[in-house]
């Protein structure tokens, strides 16, 4: 009884305090001044982008005078596997992005078939950095996109198993170069990314293999159409190397809808297709991702 009345009195006043909080621009480091969705959404590797692809965007809602942060959690249901990833990033002065993501890949019944045990999970940590070289996604000449360089250091946490599968290494580093532009005259956002990588299944199955040890040049393309300032639909395509002798790897693609529920919360739903994974073909299904950014 006591607790109840305490709660019912403190909660509304807390709500009031939140409403009455001073304008965000009182703090120069957190003005929240970016245009909604121009921070992208967290890609599966943690870097800001379109979900599957890394873009030239910088995470967080801050402009060139602030330091922004974002966090995300993503779940994917594939035909035979489950995927969960989460992470956080910092966007410094709309110039540098630092991010971390953890990927957990559940082999479910396939785990038993592969002799790993049912529900065996492959896990990976990804530490990434990105720097914006020139340009702006929205402003400036339509001929000059926002261009960024990125590095993504990936560490599989299943070294013994990925090596047994035939991977040359359990750690690897991808290098990316991305160009992103919102063509306002067409309401279309386009991204193109070149990636040097030797990751097998994004790195979950290690790096390199009998077919190819070294990094090869791969491509990521995204096209998105703005329906409203807060609602975007699009598609992505990502080529991938096929380094392992025992299992073919296919290109991946997705169709997504991203909705900024508020300035700070974005939900993304996608249909994703990653092809064959560890000899099990036709891995496609639904992705849901939630991102909070400030």
The residues that touch other proteins, with contacts defined as CB under 8 A, are 23-25, 31, 33-35, 63-66, 94, 136, 138-142, 183-187, 226-229
User: Least distance in Å: CB of 244 to other proteins?
Assistant: 45
The residue (of 92 and 151) whose beta carbon lies closer to other proteins is 92
If the CB atoms of residues 34 and 121 are measured against other proteins, the closer one turns out to be 34
Nearer to other proteins, 109 or 186 (CB): 186
Spell out the residues 6+ positions from residue 55 whose beta carbon is closer than 8 angstroms to its own.
40, 43, 47, 48, 49, 148, 178, 180, 191, 193, 222
Q: Measured from the CB atom, is 93 or 284 closer to other proteins? A: 93
Cα separation, 243 vs 253, in Å, equals 19
| Residue 139 beta carbon to other proteins: minimum distance, rounded to whole angstroms | 4
Q: How far is the CB of 64 from other proteins (least distance, A)?
A: 5
Minimum gap (Å) between residue 226 Cβ and other proteins: 7
The gap from C-alpha 42 to its chain's centroid, in whole angstroms, comes to 3
Residues whose CB is less than 8 angstroms from the CB of residue 164 and which lie 6 or more positions away in sequence, other chains included: none
Residue 54 CB, shortest distance to other proteins, in Å, is: 23
Counting Cβ atoms within 10 Å, is residue 110 exposed (0-12), middle (13-18) or buried (19+)?
A: buried
Which of 5/185 has CB closer to other proteins?
185
User: Both tokens of residue 165?
Assistant: 């599968």
């Amino acid at each position: 009884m006591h607790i109840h009345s305490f709660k019912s009195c403190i909660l509304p006043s807390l709500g009031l305090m939140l409403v009455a909080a001073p304008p965000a621009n009182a703090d120069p480091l957190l003005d929240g001044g970016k245009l909604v969705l121009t921070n992208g959404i967290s890609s599966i590797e943690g870097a800001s982008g379109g979900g599957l692809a890394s873009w030239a965007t910088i995470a967080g809602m801050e402009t060139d005078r602030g330091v922004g942060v974002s966090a995300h959690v993503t779940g994917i249901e594939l035909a035979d596997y489950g995927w969960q990833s989460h992470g956080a990033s910092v966007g410094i002065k709309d110039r540098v992005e630092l991010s971390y993501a953890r990927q957990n890949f559940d082999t479910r019944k396939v785990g038993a078939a592969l002799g790993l045990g049912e529900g065996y999970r492959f896990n990976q940590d990804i530490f990434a950095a990105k720097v914006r070289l020139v340009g702006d996604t929205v402003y400036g000449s339509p001929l000059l996109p926002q261009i960024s360089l990125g590095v993504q250091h990936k560490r599989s946490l299943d070294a013994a198993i990925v090596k047994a599968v035939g991977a040359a290494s359990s750690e690897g580093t991808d290098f990316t170069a991305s160009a992103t532009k919102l063509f306002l005259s067409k309401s279309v956002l386009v991204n193109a990314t070149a990636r040097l990588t030797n990751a097998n299944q994004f790195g979950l199955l290690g790096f390199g293999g009998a077919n190819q040890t070294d990094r090869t040049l791969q491509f990521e393309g995204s096209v998105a159409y703005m329906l409203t300032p807060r609602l975007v639909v699009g598609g992505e395509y990502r080529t991938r190397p096929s380094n392992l002798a025992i299992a073919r790897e296919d290109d991946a693609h997705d169709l997504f809808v991203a909705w900024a529920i508020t300035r700070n919360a974005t939900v993304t739903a996608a249909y994703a297709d990653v092809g064959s994974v560890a000899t099990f073909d036709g891995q496609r299904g639904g992705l849901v991702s939630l991102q909070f950014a400030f």
